[in-house]
Amino acid sequence: MSKYIGFDIDCKKVVACVVEKGKRDIYETMGPDVGSMRKFLLAQKQSGARVELAFEISGQAGFIYDSLLDCVDEVKVVNPSKMTWIYRTAKKNDRIDARKMAVLMSIGELPCVYMPSKEVRQWRQTILHRRTIVGKVVQAKNR
């Protein structure tokens, strides 16, 4: 039996929805820190079921992905721009968004993004930082 968990991550809170076949959906709100998320996921894993997690891409998605990877069996990062039908609905809140992610993951219809390894992301960040510094040096020389 698998548990599919959708996280709607906000700057002030995280809303989780656990969807499991034949059981009632479970909702929980927690703090936006990684410790709270890990604690919740480890509690879900205690039942011995396979746990799969989905959350939307954001600025801190790489950090969250790395932090939660060992707590679940699979982590999927979702592309929200390919789920425009979610945002067109009149009824929209964090619980509904989290549930839709969990349900779509359970049927294999989640539009995921490629998440490169930690080393590749660090290398890309270093290159971006170097480009920024070179741009500032050129800008200063041109004054």
Give me the DSSP letters along 9-63. Answer: E-SS-EEEEEEETTS--EEEEE-SSHHHHHHHHHHHHTT--EEEEEEE--TTHHH
Instruction: For the chain, give every domain's residue range.
Output: 2-112, 116-143
Residue with tokens 């004054």: 143
In which band, very low, low, confident or very high, does the pLDDT at 90 lie, cut at 50, 70 and 90? low
Convert the pLDDT of each residue in 20-60 to its tens digit.
988 999 999 999 999 999 999 999 988 888 999 999 998 88
* CATH architecture of the domain covering 2-112: 2-Layer Sandwich (3.30)
| pLDDT digits 0-9 by tens, 112-131 | 899 999 999 999 999 999 99
16 within 8 A of 41, measured Cβ to Cβ: no
The pLDDT of residue 87 is above 70: no
Q: Which residue type occupies 5?
A: I
> Among all chains, which residue has been given the structure tokens 């995921």?
112
Residue 65 — very low, low, confident or very high, per pLDDT cuts 50/70/90? very high
- Cβ-defined contacts of 109-118 (< 8 Å, 24+): 110/54, 110/76, 110/78, 111/78, 111/79, 111/82, 111/83, 112/54, 112/76, 112/77, 112/78, 112/79, 113/57, 113/77, 113/78, 113/79, 115/61, 115/62, 115/65, 115/75, 115/77, 118/62, 118/66
pTM: 0.84
Q: What is the pLDDT of residue 82?
A: 80
DSSP 8-state assignment for residue 77: E
